[in-house]
Structure 1
């Protein structure tokens, strides 16, 4: 175990080899390698020395019960053991469905990412920064799977922070999809600030700008085609002022990678620079920072984006051209998209940073940011 001085001195990366050999199925959006690519790319760049890497534990049922019902946790474990579900279990817990299928590690894999999130909360409670890219499954609900998410890692991480004495939490979510499960858990908690920037009219079609809750809930739905300039306005006029005013003890950032142009699960048009700029801006705004993964379904774009997040957290500059070992990691990836092999853009194999995708801020984004900024101004 790393000493407290090491934790404070350098960010920690929580990962596992389970993601390298596990898939939701050959047809599922989460069939692509993600966390293993980030680990391999980070190591190829020399950014992930052994003392910064922690192998994720698998969460025990009692830890999962902090948010999820015992019946649901037991049903998920039983489904993995039998590789089947009854119609009754499918109807109640939403497993064995197209979105949340039965697969070989359907309990162990999410229990591992949940264990990493819970451990991250414990470590961050001592101060410093932890990165857990396998976590971020923000749709999971107490008694059911939801939107590819079997357990809700952000909620479990935040409850872990609370368990270890950290009270005031800011949760920021920049995934293309609204974090409905996290809002269910914390919308009525006055010691939680929740900010989500997500694509409007995108599943799960929650996260209206009018959502309030008892706590501070700021949802910013943005139109399809939202780009780096739109996210920059959200960052400067909403996210950073809200966090500064709230003065949290810890920040939890869900850094889903599905808002980039190349991702098949959204119609947003950002580059990975938009995400990296938010990560950079949040560093130092609270004594504790926990960064999670989330969505991201193009293996090249999600691997490059999340590796860049780790670079930002450590103060590393992305090279203009990747070294040969890093290029090999990306060249070895493949993506069979609905029966057709997707050929990567050559830049995805040789670079980490996308070209910026800027443009004038849309009138819709400007109007909605102004509305939320006014709410923020009068918040006492």
Structure 2
């Protein structure tokens, strides 16, 4: 199956508000940049449908879906709705497309499971909203589309599913849904002490839940170690029917909402390594609040999925997409460096692997018989 890209114009011009981190354009930047590079012909672009309330009620409560639709319609949220459902809060504010936009993301993830019935590769940068809870919006996430992706994949023939999340924030909503499922491997690599302050090393469910909190400053060399000693051996041992990767770009150093120091080289390397390990691969977006780093990262992922040669210097049409971006409320956006406009692939940022990370990897790999003989990157 030819790799497919899921997108929609609802992301173009839609914003959580001028003060919110999700005021920045993300999916439109990826779409426009990929097209400017000649990487997104019409036959590879699939318009994401909007999920219907009945489909969303397969995991979210009907009362919550009703409240979300009602709040979008009235553009107001009363105290009871804020308290119970988390709608109208600073993290999950009232905005014009607050139901239609996440329902489109969820619809894309549901469709992805259907399109991958017989195998293939899909990039869905509008997905990855991993904090949504059954009865409540949380952490900028109104609906949990990764949950719907896993449910849809399972309905369409994938029994064993590996979900890998390298967003800077713990995948708490997805863990809530599947931590007791022995056929779902959950791996979340996230910054320790960062909101929502869950996902401790010791946390595990009845099924296969692997949480790796990492210290500030995590760099590409350390992520190489995590990928080779932890993520890939666990995926290979499971031999999943499908892999879902949540590639939040807020773990990149230039992002304002984390203290991690990755470059997009780590995201690219993980996608490349996981692609041959399962007949079905779905790559989602997620966090990412620097418009240049998120746009460049997710476009680079699409290039990796489709086997593109990444130019050392972007052509003028692609550079124009990046130069048109504005990020006025962040200090780093006032004087962006030239490589944010002129290049796509970052040079990896490597250094010494800290003992704390090695110890945590080893603790996970030996816990409850999880040790995999001959694990990579022996030290």
User: For this structure pair, what is the TM-score category when the shorter chain's length is used for normalisation?
Assistant: over 0.9
Q: Does 1:261 align with 2:256?
A: no
Contact 2:365 2:371 in 1 (8 A): no
Contact 1:253 1:291 in 2 (8 A): yes
Q: Does 1:193 align with 2:185?
A: yes
For residues 104 and 260 of structure 2, the distance between their equivalents in structure 1, rounded to whole angstroms, comes to: 30
Q: Does 1:301 align with 2:301?
A: no
**TM-fit CA distance, 1:196:** 0.9
Partner of 2:16: 24
Q: Does 1:331 align with 2:323?
A: yes
Partner of 1:233: 225
- The one-character-per-residue Cα deviations of 1:200-225 (angstroms, maximum 9, x if unpaired) are 00000111111121111111110000
Structure 2: gaps (5+ residues): 373-379
Partner of 1:281: 273
- The one-character-per-residue Cα deviations of 1:242-267 (angstroms, maximum 9, x if unpaired) are 00001111000000000111000000
Partner of 1:46: 38
**TM-fit CA distance, 1:342:** 2.5
Secondary structure, in 3 states, of the residue corresponding to 1:284? helix
How many residue pairs get aligned? The number is 372
For residues 331 and 211 of structure 2, the distance between their equivalents in structure 1, rounded to whole angstroms, comes to: 36
Structure 1: gaps (5+ residues): 1-7
After superposing the two structures, state which structure 1 stretch, 176-185 or 333-342, moved more: 333-342
Partner of 2:161: 169
For residues 62-141 of structure 1, what are the structure 2 equivalents within 5 Å? 62-141=54-133
Change (3 A) 1:361 1:338: closer
Partner of 1:374: 366
Question: Please, what TM-score do these two structures have when normalized by structure 1?
Answer: 0.96
For residues 33 and 274 of structure 1, the distance between their equivalents in structure 2, rounded to whole angstroms, comes to: 22
- The one-character-per-residue Cα deviations of 1:46-90 (angstroms, maximum 9, x if unpaired) are 100111100110000011011100010010010010000111111
For residues 38 and 252 of structure 2, the distance between their equivalents in structure 1, rounded to whole angstroms, comes to: 26
Q: What root-mean-square deviation, in Å, do the aligned CA atoms of Structure 1 and Structure 2 show?
A: 1.3
For residues 263 and 363 of structure 2, the distance between their equivalents in structure 1, rounded to whole angstroms, comes to: 26
For residues 229 and 50 of structure 1, the distance between their equivalents in structure 2, rounded to whole angstroms, comes to: 37
Q: Does 1:345 align with 2:320?
A: no
Change (3 A) 1:354 1:341: closer
- Following TM superposition, where does structure 1 have runs of at least 4 consecutive aligned residues deviating by more than 2 angstroms? 338-343, 375-380
For residues 310-321 of structure 1, what are the structure 2 equivalents within 5 Å? 310-321=302-313
Secondary structure, in 3 states, of the residue corresponding to 2:147? helix
